[in-house]
Amino acid sequence: MFRFILRRTGSAVVLLLVLSAIIFVLQAVSPGDPVKAYLGANASPEAIAAKREELGLNAPLYAQYLRFIANLLHGDLGQSFRTHRPVLTDLQSFLPATLELVLFSFVVAVLLGVLFAVSGSLRLKGGALFRGPLLLLAAAPPFLLALGGIVLFYAQLGVLPASGRGVDSSSPTGFVVLDSIITGQPDAIGLTFQHLLLPGVVLAIAPAIAIGRILRSSLDVTMSADYVRTAESKGLTPFAVLRRHVVRNSIGPGLSMAGLQLGFMFAGVVVVEQIFSWPGIGNYLAGSIPVSDFPAIAGVTLVLGTVYIVTNAVVDILQVAADPRLAA
Amino acid sequence: MTDVATVRDLEVSLVRDGVRSDVLRGIDLSVRSGEILGMVGESGSGKSVLALAMMGLLPTSAQPRVGGTVGIGDTDMVNGRPDELRAVRRNELGVIFQDPMTSLNPTMRVGAQIDESTHDSAESLRLMTAVGIADAALRFTVYPHELSGGLRQRIMAAIAVAGRPSLIIADEPTTALDVTVQAQVLDLLRELRDEFGCSVVLITHDLAVAAQIADRVAVMYAGRIAELGPTEEIIHRPTHPYTVGLLRSRLSLDTPRDRRLLTLRPETASAAERLKGCAYHSRCPLAVEQCGVEQPPLAPAAEGTAEVSSTEHVRACWRSVSDVQGYTHDTLDAPPIAAAPSSGASDATQPAVLITGLTTVFTLKGGGRRRRQVHALRGIDLSVAAGEAVSIVGESGSGKSTLLRVIAGLAPATTGRVQLAGRGAQMVFQDAGSSLTPWLTVGDILRERLRPLKLDRAATARRIGDSLEAIGLPETVSTLRPAQLSGGQRQRVALTRATIIPPSVLLCDEPTSALDASLAASVLNLIRELRSSLDMTVLFVTHDLAVARLMGDRVVVMTQGTIVESGEADAVIRHPEHEYTRSLLASVPEIGVLS
């Protein structure tokens, strides 16, 4: 098990290096001169040449890559052309908002997914009343769900806000719900949670179905497995059979799907953040792409890629922990 | 003597593939204290459903409808409350299922799985020792996949005896195991009975397995008991035509090699017709008019006696005992099979298969540890003459299937070489159900094989019809899909696919081990006939020595990737040279020659 974790961590590091190389190459071959983007269209040729030298753009490509990696390791992601601040600083101010949204949304997705799977597999009464509408909602693209949600809950019913996080993002940790819980401000908790609810649920619907369907089919397979029959023949109660014999054996496919969906959610957050004016990296990215702000794009891509790779490594390790046969 | 379980008028109907059918149709049975009762029947006879019904574990997905009662202790397993049934399963019943690999939770340490029944690790360890597991303390914390098949089945046995049950139900406990392990598990069941004083219901498709340890045997057919009595009586003085047929179609090491194998008649009656009278009537050589219209009751076999004795022999048949036993002694001679082409004649020509210095190494990728290498074949030299039939016998893991797959080109040779003469090789697999593409019709499957011949439409259809007819299938099956066929028909289709363009070499990988005895015999007959009519060389892989002797001119014994013995079939069986061959032979369940 320990060796497996070590190996899996090693391969994650290699993947990260590959990712950084891809980002670097994209940056190098992309059209548009970063120096011009940085200095503006009216800069003099001398100023451009001086800036090129200063940014090290005249050095050979491999040297530029090594410098890129070295800077990365020092936390230096370059300067954003658009905001004229270090990309790292930008990420530090935008990332917490996204993390809060995605993690909340992920928890909602897993809860809905498990409910979907269990109500279906155990044939709970009324389960179809829950699964039907959920399936219907998942058929709509997220932006439509978001707009529909705003029209219904904000414009018509007036129960939920339509944009922002409710408070200034520059709270101590950047996680505003967390901050308001720590500092014990019930009003702020309510307010920030209200803001989180609509974008969080909109983002969660499609992943919930993906997780739920996979989990349901593996639950169904496990419930009819021979060893479940053996467990029943021991005279265990249905709940004990479920808890001791079914859950662990059916969790694998659900875990990998949940990991996959968590990765997708970080990518899907761009649209949702824009619609809800959520001050996260999705919005930041959306602002950076049109002006070819490559350091910013590279920084966000690197963060998203890292999240994706780390999530998948964690899922792999969890799967081996759940099923000892995989470690053999 | 008291009865530990009493089954009265048990009727069960289940929904399978959307069709409701009567699986058990009135079973009356008592399991006596301390006895081993063998329940014998072919697949579909309802014997496993009976076991599940006795435990109150009929699958709810099959929407069971149950009539009658199953009394265990004071509880009715049919109508009792769920918590009462669980109490009976905890305290009175132990179960051993067919495949210990799938019947144990793969993600739970075996010790914990026994603890679930004992609630006491010390008791679990004691039970593990009691069922013959050496180093119980070491094995306590391993997972099922880290144990051999035999040890896994012993873990199942330890779970079964936990809580001192009064009855152990063993559903085909030996079918998934190698013969040498099979014998150990049967011994274990007998020891458990002797040591723990429990009764055992042993469910099996093999009369010889039941005969080895059972005190009484019940023969089931189509959801009813055909015959029930002391083992000696059933084996040596059977009184039901079906029992007689089973005993005669069973293959043993004495079965004449030069004659057709005896088989039961194929089923010709529809499901409705079978339910009207005796379900066996359309296959019964002794059937009279009454058999087709009225169901025979279970009545004492000894004529004129009405009193119930502990050794009572009962049967459900309209014909008299003397008629049935008279028939038993009739016509033991079967027609000879068409003479096989003599293999000695072609010595001078090139061999059909020539294998020299063949090794195959598989590399398994581990998740955690380094790569492991499995030496499936370690230096095989084998030459098979054209027209010869060679049987390859071995237990699971001996490399026999790998050898066949290398010859067929389905697995790589690491070193050494395989030379095939003539028109190449075709393969028939064990599980015809999964070796036929489910969404293609039989016609599509066969047409695919004929494509290289570039025949026109009419010629293709004619060729398919002829081949199906030669193999004993009506031409109409070509429009059906594999799922619509029976197991025996599917294996015939697989054979047709392999021989529609006759290959030089036919490779058979346990083609009959998933089939009932009588069906298996008919498929074996067919392969032998095809061999001579199509002039093929046959390589036949099996784990069954009796089958190996019948199918091969020569028998090759394999273990751990090497050939340990090879020789003329009868010579190997009668005078085994190698230690391993002898241990295989000693483990074959035999019921002796039928008088």
Cβ burial of B151 (10 Å; 0-12, 13-18, 19+) is: buried
CA distance A325 to A27: 43
Give the residue with greater pLDDT, B511 vs B179.
Answer: B511
- The per-residue pLDDT for range B220-271, each reduced to its tens digit, is 999 999 999 999 999 988 999 999 888 888 888 888 888 888 888 877 777 7
Q: Chain-centre distance of CA B15, in angstroms?
A: 24
Whether B578 shows a pLDDT value over 50: the answer reads: yes
Whether B307 shows a pLDDT value over 60: the answer reads: no
**Predicted confidence band of residue B343 (pLDDT cuts 50, 70, 90):** very low
Does B117 sit within 8 Å of A328, measured CB to CB?
Answer: no
Query: Measured between beta carbons, which residues in chain A are less than 8 angstroms from residue B203?
Result: none
Q: Both tokens of residue B478?
A: 């070509």
Does B108 sit within 8 Å of A226, measured CB to CB?
Answer: no
- The per-residue pLDDT for range B413-449, each reduced to its tens digit, is 999 999 888 778 899 988 877 888 989 999 999 999 9
Does B87 sit within 8 Å of A326, measured CB to CB?
Answer: no
- The per-residue pLDDT for range A216-229, each reduced to its tens digit, is 999 999 988 999 99
Share the mean pLDDT of chain B. 86
* Interface contact B106, partner A, CB < 8 A: yes
Does A225 sit within 8 Å of B102, measured CB to CB?
Answer: yes
Mean pLDDT of A122-140: 83
Share the mean pLDDT of chain A. 84
H-assigned helices in B147-178: 149-161
Does B87 sit within 8 Å of A235, measured CB to CB?
Answer: yes
Whether B340 shows a pLDDT value over 60: the answer reads: no
For B366, the closest chain A residue by CA position comes to: A328
* Superfamily, domain B344-586: P-loop containing nucleotide triphosphate hydrolases (3.40.50.300)
**Predicted confidence band of residue B328 (pLDDT cuts 50, 70, 90):** low
Long-range contacts of B124-133 (CB under 8 A, 24+ apart): B124/B158, B124/B162, B127/B158, B127/B161, B127/B162, B128/B154, B128/B155, B128/B158, B130/B158, B130/B161, B130/B195, B131/B155, B131/B157, B131/B158, B131/B161, B131/B188, B131/B192, B132/B184, B132/B188, B132/B191, B133/B158
Query: Measured between beta carbons, which residues in chain A are less than 8 angstroms from residue B108?
Result: 244-245, 248
- The per-residue pLDDT for range A145-186, each reduced to its tens digit, is 888 888 888 888 887 887 777 776 666 667 777 777 777 777
Does B366 sit within 8 Å of A322, measured CB to CB?
Answer: no
For B143, the closest chain A residue by CA position comes to: A324
For B83, the closest chain A residue by CA position comes to: A237
Give the one of A234, A244, A245 whose C-beta lies nearest to B117's C-beta: A234
Sheet holding B415-420, edge to edge: B372-384, B353-364, B415-420
User: Per the confidence metrics, is the pTM higher than 0.90?
Assistant: no
Whether B335 shows a pLDDT value over 90: the answer reads: no
For A328, the closest chain B residue by CA position comes to: B366
SS3 content of chain A, % helix, strand, coil (to 5): 75, 0, 25
Does A236 sit within 8 Å of B116, measured CB to CB?
Answer: yes
Query: Among A304, A306, A307, A285, which Cα is nearest to A296's?
Result: A285
* B305: Cβ contacts below 8 Å, ≥ 6 apart: none
- The per-residue pLDDT for range B9-19, each reduced to its tens digit, is 999 999 887 88
Q: How far is A234 from chain B (nearest CA, A)?
A: 5
Mean pLDDT of B511-515: 83
Q: Report residue B9: phi and psi, to 5°.
A: 50, 35
Query: Among B358, B357, B351, which Cα is nearest to B411's?
Result: B358
Whether B1 shows a pLDDT value over 70: the answer reads: no
* Interface contact B143, partner A, CB < 8 A: yes
Q: Which of A251-265, B172-186, B533-547 has the lowest average pLDDT?
A: B172-186
User: Mutate which of A3, A8, A230 to test chain B, going by most B C-beta atoms within 10 A?
Assistant: A230
- The per-residue pLDDT for range B345-378, each reduced to its tens digit, is 444 567 889 999 999 988 766 444 556 678 889 9
pLDDT of the residue at B493: 92
- The per-residue pLDDT for range B72-118, each reduced to its tens digit, is 988 999 999 999 999 999 999 999 998 888 999 998 999 999 999 99
- The per-residue pLDDT for range A186-232, each reduced to its tens digit, is 777 778 888 888 999 999 999 999 999 999 999 999 988 999 999 99
Torsion of CA B317, B323, B324, B327, to 10 degrees: -150
Q: What is the ipTM of this complex?
A: 0.79
User: Mutate which of B16, B61, B105, B124 to test chain A, going by most A C-beta atoms within 10 A?
Assistant: B105
Question: Domain spans of chain B?
Answer: 3-92+165-328, 344-586
Place of tokens 């899922």: A315
Domains of chain A: 2-73 (no CATH), 94-327 (1.10.3720.10)
What fold is seen in the domain B3-92+165-328?
Answer: Rossmann fold (3.40.50)
- Type and span of the H or E element at B20: strand B19-32
Q: Report the percentage of chain B scoring pLDDT > 70.
A: 92
pLDDT of the residue at A31: 66
pLDDT of the residue at B336: 67
